Amino acid sequence: MSTLSLDAEALYAELRNGVRGLLQPGAVLVGVWSGGAWLAERLQADLGLPGEHGVISSALHRDDFGQRGMAAGVDATRLPFEIDGKHIVLVDDVLYTGRTIRAVVNELFDFGRPASVTLAVLVDRGGRELPIQAACAAARLTLPATQRLSLARHDDGRLRFAVEATGAGE
């Protein structure tokens, strides 16, 4: 187990500043279920954005469905606004291979055609398998493929990271 220590709250403050710079007039936040949804919910409130944020799930468009099966969150997609012509700021907690982002972009296009999709993440851990890049990452680090970095949320809303041993590639 790694002794990696990341201050999720400090990184959230960096992410909030980065997302503020990405917002165009009329832009909407869409969080990737579940860690990205927590972040989008908090960003929506902290940035004083009107309306509601959206939540999107990757479950129905994953290319590793045969290995993972039907994961929790399959019904998590909730987009309380029209997608057509919107500037979407897609928020996720950890960017790794890029496969989750590919899946959620496919899900997003099932609902319409946005004007643009911009990705903001709390942590970019490298290891990309697809040509996907975040416009904003609060931190960039490298972890072995045998470790997983996951975001957790306390009952009071504070965020923390956990590093866990896992199989290679997710």
**Is residue 165, in this structure, part of any structural domain at all?**
no
Structure tokens at 20: 């503020």
**Is residue 153, in this structure, part of any structural domain at all?**
no
CATH number at residue 105: 3.40.50.2020
Q: Above 50 in pLDDT, residue 169? A: no
Residues 66-96: pLDDT tens digits? 555 555 555 689 999 999 999 999 999 999 9
Counting the structural domains of the chain, the total is: 1
**Is residue 1, in this structure, part of any structural domain at all?**
no
Residues 134-144: pLDDT tens digits? 999 999 999 99
**Is residue 154, in this structure, part of any structural domain at all?**
no
**Is residue 41, in this structure, part of any structural domain at all?**
yes
Provide the domain limits for residue 118: 8-142
* E strand residue ranges, the chain: 28-32, 54-56, 87-95, 116-124, 136-140, 147-153, 159-165
Give residues with Cβ within 8 angstroms of 96, minimum separation 6: 125, 126, 127, 128, 170
pLDDT at 1: 42
Residue % of the chain over a pLDDT of 70: 88
Residues 42-74: pLDDT tens digits? 999 999 999 999 999 998 887 765 555 555 555
- pTM value is 0.90
For residues 4 and 149, what is the distance between their CA atoms, to the nearest angstrom? 10
